[in-house]
Structure 1
Amino acid sequence: MTTNTAKISTTSQGVIFSICSAIIFAAIPAYLMLLQNTNGYAAIGQRIIWTTLLIATALAAAGRLRQALKPLLSVQAWPGLLTGALLVGVQWGVFVWAPMMGDTVGLALGYSLLPISLVLIGRFYYHENLSTAQWLATAVAVSSVIYMIIINGSLSLTAMIVALGYPLYFMLRRKQSLPIVSAFLIENILLLPVAWWACGHFEGVNHPFDYTVDKLLLFAGLGLLGAAGMLCYLSANRRLPLALFGLLSYLEPPLILLVGIIIVGEQIPSENLFSYLLIGCALSIMAIDAAIKFYRGSGTPPQL
């Protein structure tokens, strides 16, 4: 296999992982309807606990658990692992905290800004090249966010945390050369004390497993979805140029929007319709560009 063929294969894998992560994350809001009587922070705690249990069990069954935990023995790895756990833990917390504090708009704006942050970091920090179509898609996406900021009147702290926190996490995961599953498992382990406390404090249970069997199975399903989505996301981050990874991140909001409308029964605020239309245009530009390159057989990696 030539170097160019290997690069195409890696990029294709990254695109598939990115699409899978978007689909899984879009399914989570619908799944959470089954846990409507559970406190949001406790649900995050359960997600962390069950994600840790499921990944650890799978690795143990495969005989890879000891190897996966090996980075804990390295003093040099600890700063990166602790920082990664802090960054991703804050993001998961903000995802629940913002709606509870009435800042859902800020949360949505943050996730709209996130791909732009990734594209800009990829271009100007990692010096990645963008095609004309990718620049056009980026410009359209930036326009949608600017319009949303104008309509909402400000840029909230929530939006800044999401837009800047996740890129830092992805950059850290690229810099620290640890296996994805290993790093993710250890980060969840480091978050276990907080997760354990959240279950007891917000739900008033004696321990995180102090529920009926059917409720525990629902928590396990949430942990499985969260783990699968995040591992796909991190796998895409490892395989794709950061700019392309950022542009593909725009696939997730429309999917979540569709789930929200069709399954959850939410309505799109009329003032945000134009922003979503622009995001749809940006995705369409990328898809058309990818199709043209594929059918021309130009040898360049498919972009979507």
Structure 2
Amino acid sequence: MARDDERRELRRGFACAVAAQLIWGVQPLFLPLLDAMTAAEILAHRVLWSWAVAMAVVAARRRTRQGFKELARNKHAVRTLAAGSALMGCAWGLYIYGVVTGRIVETSLALFIGPIVTAVLGVGALRERLRPYQWLAVAVSTAGVLVLGWGYGGVPWVALLIAGTVALYGLIKKRLAVPAVEGMAVETVFLVPVAIGILVWLGATNSLVFPGTWHLAPLVPVTGIVSTLPLLFFSASVNRVPLSTFGLLMYLNPVIQFAIGAWVFGESVTAARWFGFALLWIALAVFAAGALRATRPASGTAQVSPDASTPAWSSDQWSSRRGSGR
């Protein structure tokens, strides 16, 4: 029965991870609809509406409200989530800047680098073990990233910063393992004053577009949904899937974004970048085949990493652990 539960948790985490990456992957199709705004204004609205969505979800369920209160009273968790919120805000801002300035392919490069950093953190910080097929996928994907970086023609600072912040955010979420909704609600609270400050500053400099541009009214609240929903999936999955495995799943997002930048928006892609892109597809194929084989029952047993079954804490579990300092 325990093995069945482990497999169920792992598959649930796998599904949540895929959903998060798919939603993030298609976001370059949405952000250009807000091109009347600056990147700073988009970021501010993204934070405020994400906070509103997260708090609405908390308010809708009594159990979630109790979990949020318990989480807010845990000083260690709040400090850790504050660090996570800073990383999340930085990643959001850098990503929005890249998309609205026509650098979707470059932002996809950042997200190609991120899974490698995440997998390394899983091995180094959490002592996770990679299976042979995972090492092969990491090696092939690393070669692909090196080719992409060479094809970029310089040091992609924006890409490197996004990769680093996303990987560290994943590590924080993995180590703390708080419930997805409650954790997201606390994280966005820390960013609300920053968002309000940005809007006040834009208003004082006559640079504020919304609410003056009313055709954006139906789109601005959607920023909260497209931001919060994948993060909830992210939080739910990172607590169930080994971080090294999750890092490789993160390639779905940049693959989609690369395709959108190249084929939908017509950004220039050199032969070197296409070669690096092909290597990353090979790495994805190796990972997918190995992951499916590893999670399929064999002779009545499951080949699941011991860390894969760690679920997000429920409100009751959180209450019982408050005394432990977590």
- Taking structure 1 as the reference length, the TM-score comes to 0.87
Deviation, 1:149, is 2.6
- 1:182 equivalent in structure 2: 182
- Which residue of structure 2 aligns with residue 226 of structure 1? 227
* Mapping of residues 1-150 of structure 1, within 5 Å: 2-63=1-62, 64-65=64-65, 67-98=67-98, 107-150=107-150
Structure 1: which 5+ residue stretches go unaligned?
Answer: none
Higher mean C-alpha deviation, range 185-194 or range 75-84? 75-84
User: Residue by residue, what CA displacement relative to the aligned partner does 1:224-252 show, whole Å, maximum 9, x if unpaired?
Assistant: 01100111122221111011000111111
SS in 2 for 1:122: helix
Deviation at 1:133? 1.5
How far 1:31 moved relative to its partner?
A: 1.4
Conservation of the 8 A alpha-carbon contact between 2:58 and 2:182: no
Residues 21 and 250 in structure 2, CA contact (< 8 A), matched pair in contact too = yes
Matching residue of 1:281: 282
Change (3 A) 1:39 1:69: farther
CA distance in 2, matches of 1:202, 1:151: 37
C-alpha displacement of 1:134: 1.4
The superposition leaves residues 166-212 of structure 1 with CA deviations (integer Å, 9 ceiling, x where unpaired) of 22222222222432211211111110111122234346679897356
1:100, distance to aligned residue in structure 2 (A): 6.9
The CA distance in 2 between the partners of 1:97 and 1:41, in whole Å, is 8
The correspondence of residues 188-267 of structure 1 with structure 2, limited to 5 A, is: 188-202=188-202, 210-211=211-212, 214-267=215-268
The letter for the 1-side match of 2:14 is: V
1: CA distance, partners of 2:105 / 2:186: 32
Q: Give 1:301 shift.
A: 4.9
Q: What per-residue deviation string (whole Å, max 9, x for no partner) do you get for residues 253-303 of structure 1? A: 112223334544545343310110000011111223345556784633599
CA distance in 2, matches of 1:292, 1:57: 40
Amino acid at match of 1:198: I
**C-alpha separation in 1, matches of 2:48 and 2:27:** 17
Of residues 40-49 and 193-202 in structure 1, the stretch that sits farther from structure 2 once superposed is 193-202
Q: Aligned pair in 2 of structure 1 residues 161, 213: CA closer, same or farther (>3 Å)?
A: same
Which amino acid in the other structure matches residue 35 of structure 1?
L
Is residue 26–residue 256 contact of structure 1 (8 Å, CA) maintained in 2?
yes
Number of residue pairs the alignment of both structures matches: 302
CA shift for structure 1 position 17: 0.8
**TM-score (ref. length: structure 2):** 0.81
In the aligned structure 2, how far is the partner of 1:145 from the partner of 1:262? 20
Residue 108 of structure 1: CA displacement? Answer: 3.7
> Identity over aligned residues, as a percent?
23
Q: For 1:296 and 1:80, locate their aligned partners in 2 and report how far apart those are by CA, in whole Å.
A: 37
Counterpart-to-counterpart distance in 2, 1:260 and 1:159: 15
Give the partner amino acid of 2:222.
G
Q: Which structure 2 segments of 5+ residues have no match?
A: 309-326
User: Is the helix fraction higher in 1 or 2?
Assistant: 1
Question: What secondary structure is seen at the aligned counterpart in 1 of 2:277?
Answer: helix
1:211/1:182 Cα in 2 relative to 1: closer, same or farther (>3 Å)? farther
Question: Cα RMSD over matched residues?
Answer: 2.9
* CA–CA distance in structure 2, aligned partners of residues 73 and 127 of structure 1: 30
Aligned-pair CA distance for 1:79: 1.9
